[in-house]
Chains A and B, each alone.
Chain A
Amino acid sequence: MATIQAWDTPPDQARAAAIRAGLGVGIAVGVSGLVFGAAAAAAGLTVAQACALSLLAFTGASQFALVGVVSGGGGLIAGTVGAVLLGSRNALYGLRLASVLRVRGAKRLVTAHVVIDETAAVATSQPDRASARTGFAVTAVALYVTWNLTTLLGAAGASRLGDPERYGLDAVGPAVFVALLWPLLRRGRAERLVAMAAVAVALTTTPLLPPGVPVMLAAVVAVTAVLPRPRPAGGPTS
């Protein structure tokens, strides 16, 4: 089941590479907390609310999604559900990382909080278990510290900047999602079909439904339409 071999003595080189990758990803992505903080403040969140989101949710796509709905004057319930659904991919990372990291007991409660795109990417790209654990921990700490500090800076600084559109901040939210979407679209044809269906549903229903709802509807409709049918009754397996 485990895809990563446990070596008796992991090479120092692999360990050092994992530390470098973790620091690089953690700090580079963490700095974009500046953008999140500024976008949150521009959408009407207080500095405390922006910081609370980064501290508690700590998953950029969901945070940007909620802020986007708030800034569009959208329904907070639909916005919250959309943001949380977007975090469902972290559960998938957790499933994969459970066998790699092998954390037990109360440590899982802390580890869970930092299971996100970046930590999963660094951990799963390491050649052995020890460097996977190192890479995961270094990415987690570097990213959590940087992301939360820059959120505070961005949110606190935004109020002195004036109109956020002057700085193109309204283009940053969609840019974040395009960047996260990019590797997913390369996985296959079904992914691209889902994407096209989602755009069509979201845009056609936007004038008809409260803000926030079209995004959720698009997800349900697009995925249901593309998902392979279950085997008919009487098929070879249940």
Chain B
Amino acid sequence: MTAIWPAVIATGLGCYALKLAGLVIPERVIDRPRVRRFTELVPVALLTALVAVQTAAHGDALVADGPRLAGVAAAVIALLLRAPFLVVLVAAAGVAAGLRLAGLG
């Protein structure tokens, strides 16, 4: 667990540095169409890749965990119904937990 500390500190510092950079960098530096487009698309790619990996992988193995897949599907349905953030999370956890409780996991 002590091995995790450098990652925790580095993530904290890195995230702070990026927040600060946004406030202090003159807007024209980043205000080129290609740079702007890149910075808009990177979060999309990262978030989708994270969804894919955390839903369908464990370590370096691809796994299809029924309750987990159903939980993520429940989150998508909650979003389609315009549910608030916390409700989306509770729906995901609730469906996954419910299916496991019912012995489907």
Please tell me if the beta carbons of B19 and A94 are within 8 angstroms of each other in the complex: yes
Please tell me if the beta carbons of B30 and A199 are within 8 angstroms of each other in the complex: no
Residue of B7, B8, B38, B49 contacting most chain A CB atoms (<10 Å):
B49
Q: How large is the interface on B (under 10, 10 to 19, 20 to 34, 35 or more residues)?
A: 35 or more
A16 in contact (CB, < 8 A): no
Which 8 residue pairs are nearest across A and B when measured between Cβ atoms? A94-B22, A171-B71, A56-B12, A168-B96, A84-B14, A175-B92, A168-B97, A91-B22
Q: What does the 1/0 interface line of B82-103 toward A look like (CB < 8 Å)?
A: 0011101101111111101100
Please tell me if the beta carbons of B10 and A181 are within 8 angstroms of each other in the complex: no
18 pairs across A/B with beta carbons < 8 Å?
A1-B27, A45-B8, A85-B46, A87-B18, A88-B43, A94-B22, A94-B24, A111-B23, A112-B19, A168-B71, A175-B93, A190-B41, A198-B48, A216-B46, A218-B46, A219-B42, A222-B45, A223-B41
Please tell me if the beta carbons of A182 and B79 are within 8 angstroms of each other in the complex: yes
Please tell me if the beta carbons of A76 and B3 are within 8 angstroms of each other in the complex: yes
Nearest residue in A to B39 (C-beta to C-beta)?
A: A92
Please tell me if the beta carbons of A98 and B23 are within 8 angstroms of each other in the complex: yes
Interface residues of B (CB under 8 A from A): 1, 3-16, 18-25, 27, 30, 34, 37-62, 65, 67-68, 70-72, 74-76, 79, 84-86, 88-89, 91-98, 100-101, 105
A152 in contact (CB, < 8 A): no
Please tell me if the beta carbons of B24 and A198 are within 8 angstroms of each other in the complex: no
A90, B43: Cα distance in complex, Å: 10
Residue of A28, A170, A222 contacting most chain B CB atoms (<10 Å):
A170
How many chain A residues touch B (CB < 8 A): the figure is 105
Please tell me if the beta carbons of A227 and B34 are within 8 angstroms of each other in the complex: yes
Nearest residue in A to B53 (C-beta to C-beta)?
A: A202
Whether A179 touches B93, Cβ cut-off 8 Å, given contacts A72-B58, A206-B60, is: no
Whether A112 touches B75, Cβ cut-off 8 Å, given contacts A172-B93, A177-B47, is: no
Interface of A is mostly: helix
Residues on the A chain within 8 Å of B65, using CB:
170
Residues on the B chain within 8 Å of A6, using CB:
none
Residues on the A chain within 8 Å of B38, using CB:
223, 227
Residues on the B chain within 8 Å of A185, using CB:
44
Instruction: Tell me the minimal C-beta distance from B83 to chain A in angstroms.
Output: 9
A11, B84: Cα distance in complex, Å: 28
Residues on the B chain within 8 Å of A228, using CB:
34, 37
A167 in contact (CB, < 8 A): yes
A142 in contact (CB, < 8 A): no
A53, B59: Cα distance in complex, Å: 22
